[in-house]
Structure 1
Amino acid sequence: MPLSHNPNLLQPRVPILNWIADMGSDISDEIRYRLCATLASSTLPALLGSLNSFCITLLAYARLQNTILLYIALCDLIFGVMRVCATNVSWLRTVAADLVVVSGIGWATMMAATMVVVGFSDDTPMLIIVVASGLGSCAGIIARNYAAPRLALAQVIVIDASFKIPFCIHHPEFIPLILLQGAGFIGVAIWIMRQQRETTVRAIAGQIESRTQSLQDPLTGLLNRRGFAEKAQSMRQTSSTKALLYLDLDGFKQVNDRFGHGVGDEILRQAARRLSICLPNASICRMGGDEFIVLADCHSRQEAAVIGARIIQTISLPTVTSAGQASVGVSIGISLFDPMEVDLERAMVEADEALYRAKRAGRGCALLHDPAMSGASKAMA
């Protein structure tokens, strides 16, 4: 998995770094994952920012001939390389989060160090250049690092303070104004990051909800056909043998006709809940009407028989509805297959054939498709 899509990218191991990179506790894991991706995708802007500060520091050295600036430029280069390696070198994955945070703070500190050195010089043009660069960097930090507000705020404060401290030392009469202006600047930065974070979180939550609705059956909350197809596609890389069970509720039409569609919907919802409780690790889909599909790990015919019997026993329990007690049964066709060798469409055809034979056999039973019998199915004991 690319590091830019690593959900642990901004969960450093070092406690203080983990605190700095914290994204808040008011969001779900998936939203946290998406916010993490926005930070992980900022490698190019971070690299350009590091390159910019590196060049400005060299320019400052050329004008001031201060050896300290060479060491600052070298450290700046090191932090830039560290940032690139953190998100692109696979063997650094375990410490990638720590490197991202350290490189971000380190880069801001080096930029601040250049400003301090230039700020104590008499080179006004160079001072204007580094201050303009610092303000531009602050804007970029606020725009890119809002997902981790503590990290962004630490970078902004370091850069902002670096050119105000020399100024206040040279002109102490302006300290009250500078403090007031600095507090206002930090306050605005916090407000902008908070607004941007809230907007992004709402947008991501909306995308997640929309996607969830597109993959779920609205009546039962189970997977719909599209959701089941995506789930099945994701399991194609596993070599674990699967059992595909095609279910059809027996007697559902009679209950629906007798008590009405409202009660029929209650029966379907209850059947969905029972299946979810009965098979918590399986993928369950409502195909439509009173038909369901279950996809579960299964290593033998005997295990498939146990799963089928468990479903029949669970579904056949009476259901208390708004119109009184109602009962339905279930017939099941089963295909046992290896997803590495057999595609889902073929497994569904086999299970559907076995279901048809189960209904002809008298309903309320589970039949397993048997390739050795040329497409026949045989009753499972």
Structure 2
Amino acid sequence: MSLSHNPNLLQPRTPILNWIADMGSDISEEIRSRLCGTLAASTLPAILGSLNSIFITLLAYARIENPVLLWIAFFDLAFGIARAAATNINWVRVIAADLVVISGIGWATMIAATMVVVGFSNDTPMLIVVVASGLGSCAGIIARNYAAPRLALIQVILIDTSFKIPFCLNHPEFTPLIVIQGMGFIGIAVWIMRQQRETTVRAIAGQIESRTQSLLDPLTGLLNRRGLEERTQSMRQTSTTKALLYLDLDGFKQVNDRFGHGVGDEILRQAARRLSICLPNASICRMGGDEFIVLADCHSRQEAAVIGARIIQTISLPSVTSAGQAYVGVSIGISLFDPKTVDLERAMVEADEALYRAKRAGRGCALLHDPSNAEASKVPA
């Protein structure tokens, strides 16, 4: 499990705790991270639950006067403080996930301990209050901790069995019925948590799919303008110089007019595949029509020349379409920029200016924008 959705929550360091908090291997890392958010977001309910159980324990002490209940209340408070610290104090970040799991199990154990102590007393009204509170806690656990089913199941079993054990010892004739009822309760709890998890996973997967599709060009599968902007935002933390290459297919309009939009779409899809194969580590965007943008790591003008030449050579190969072979070329304008200091719009304007000059220079070439000159610098192809 990786509780990276919250910056204060990391993967549990203790193997047994990591196993308890495991969310399964049938989900993607992003879904896992989103599910972790349900645990991270349960801090307030957990603290409120701890305050409630402390109050119930102190109330039981006021009626029964068993000093064990004071120790239970003390440890319950300690677990509540640990849970709050796990998500609110930066210096405990390294063991934050361990504290979440330990405090969750510890809180359930204190509820169970209170039930056992009250269960062996003769205070029936207090027992009813404690049992009602415990069942309410089980409902909260099922509703909040279903993302980590083992953790939730351990908590539910601790609380559920704690009042059944003293009852069965005091009334052994009801033991078979209590066992059957307990097994049924656990089975229903597992079913509810499984249903909640599946529903949540489907909802998250749908959101991810919808978001992914909103960032992609439906024809080519490349990034669209919005996807490129988001990708650029993620680059702002890097110090690597980028090359923004503005591509325009030469001769595409003639082919599209002659053979129709269907063949034109085939050529665009082939161009997208070729770019993806040619530059596997680059971010590639279809801006619309026959215009593409490529964002690639680039440290020098010479490296930009190599990238431009590679693209020109790749795109200029004949395209096999349903109407036969078709030929298109490509003109390229290039801007070298630092994502930390230059925004995408400015880099695109510079590359577009270089592209315009590449078109005027006879097409089929790559020009590099040179900020020291009014004219762009030609990159040998």
TM range (shorter): over 0.9
Amino acid at match of 1:242: K
Match of 2:71 in 1: 71
Partner Cα distance (1:205, 1:338) in 2 = 34
Match of 2:143 in 1: 143
Match of 1:22 in 2: 22
Alignment of 1:359 with 2:349, yes or no, is no
Distance 1:88 1:277, change over 3 A: farther
Partner Cα distance (1:27, 1:236) in 2 = 29
Match of 1:324 in 2: 324
* More displaced 10-residue stretch of structure 1: 10-19 or 205-214: 10-19
Per-residue CA deviation, residues 89-140 of structure 1 (Å, 9 max, x unaligned), is 2222222222111111111011101111111111112111111110000000
Question: What's the secondary structure of 1:201's corresponding residue?
Answer: helix
Partner Cα distance (1:78, 1:322) in 2 = 72
Partner Cα distance (2:160, 2:21) in 1 = 20
Distance 1:280 1:90, change over 3 A: farther
Distance 1:147 1:7, change over 3 A: farther
Per-residue CA deviation, residues 31-90 of structure 1 (Å, 9 max, x unaligned), is 111111111100000011111111211222222222221221111111111111111222
Alignment of 1:2-81 (within 5 A): 5-6=5-6, 9=9, 11-81=11-81
Question: What's the secondary structure of 1:66's corresponding residue?
Answer: coil
Partner Cα distance (1:276, 1:250) in 2 = 19
* More displaced 10-residue stretch of structure 1: 277-286 or 171-180: 277-286
* More displaced 10-residue stretch of structure 1: 351-360 or 237-246: 237-246
Match of 1:196 in 2: 196
Partner Cα distance (1:298, 1:135) in 2 = 61
Asked whether the equivalents of residues 334 and 367 of structure 2 are also in contact (C-alpha less than 8 Å), the reply is yes
* More displaced 10-residue stretch of structure 1: 269-278 or 160-169: 269-278
RMSD: 1.6
Match of 2:109 in 1: 109
* More displaced 10-residue stretch of structure 1: 228-237 or 213-222: 228-237
Alignment of 1:92 with 2:98, yes or no, is no
Alignment of 1:241 with 2:241, yes or no, is yes
Identity %: 84
User: Structure 1 runs of 4+ off > 6 angstroms?
Assistant: none
Distance 1:304 1:84, change over 3 A: same
Question: What's the secondary structure of 2:281's corresponding residue?
Answer: coil
Asked whether the equivalents of residues 10 and 36 of structure 1 are also in contact (C-alpha less than 8 Å), the reply is no
* More displaced 10-residue stretch of structure 1: 234-243 or 31-40: 234-243
Asked whether the equivalents of residues 4 and 41 of structure 1 are also in contact (C-alpha less than 8 Å), the reply is no
Match of 2:132 in 1: 132
Question: What's the secondary structure of 1:247's corresponding residue?
Answer: strand
Unaligned runs of 5+ in 1: none
Match of 1:306 in 2: 306
Please state how far the C-alpha of 1:16 moved relative to its aligned partner. 1.7
Please state how far the C-alpha of 1:19 moved relative to its aligned partner. 1.7
Partner Cα distance (2:329, 2:127) in 1 = 82
Partner Cα distance (2:311, 2:88) in 1 = 48
Question: What's the secondary structure of 1:122's corresponding residue?
Answer: coil
Per-residue CA deviation, residues 15-39 of structure 1 (Å, 9 max, x unaligned), is 2212211112221111111111111
Match of 1:224 in 2: 224
Partner Cα distance (1:108, 1:138) in 2 = 9
> Normalising by structure 2, what TM-score?
0.95
Amino acid at match of 2:23: M
Alignment of 1:273-284 (within 5 A): 273-284=273-284
Alignment of 1:119 with 2:123, yes or no, is no
Amino acid at match of 1:252: F
Partner Cα distance (1:149, 1:10) in 2 = 18
Match of 2:377 in 1: 378
Distance 1:4 1:115, change over 3 A: farther
* More displaced 10-residue stretch of structure 1: 188-197 or 170-179: 188-197
Amino acid at match of 2:345: E
Question: What's the secondary structure of 1:285's corresponding residue?
Answer: strand
Please state how far the C-alpha of 1:310 moved relative to its aligned partner. 1.6
Asked whether the equivalents of residues 308 and 332 of structure 1 are also in contact (C-alpha less than 8 Å), the reply is yes
Amino acid at match of 1:325: Q
Amino acid at match of 2:350: E
Please state how far the C-alpha of 1:314 moved relative to its aligned partner. 1.8
Partner Cα distance (1:104, 1:277) in 2 = 49
Partner Cα distance (2:22, 2:60) in 1 = 35
* More displaced 10-residue stretch of structure 1: 231-240 or 46-55: 231-240
Question: What's the secondary structure of 1:244's corresponding residue?
Answer: strand
Asked whether the equivalents of residues 368 and 379 of structure 2 are also in contact (C-alpha less than 8 Å), the reply is yes
Partner Cα distance (1:145, 1:363) in 2 = 61
Unaligned runs of 5+ in 2: none
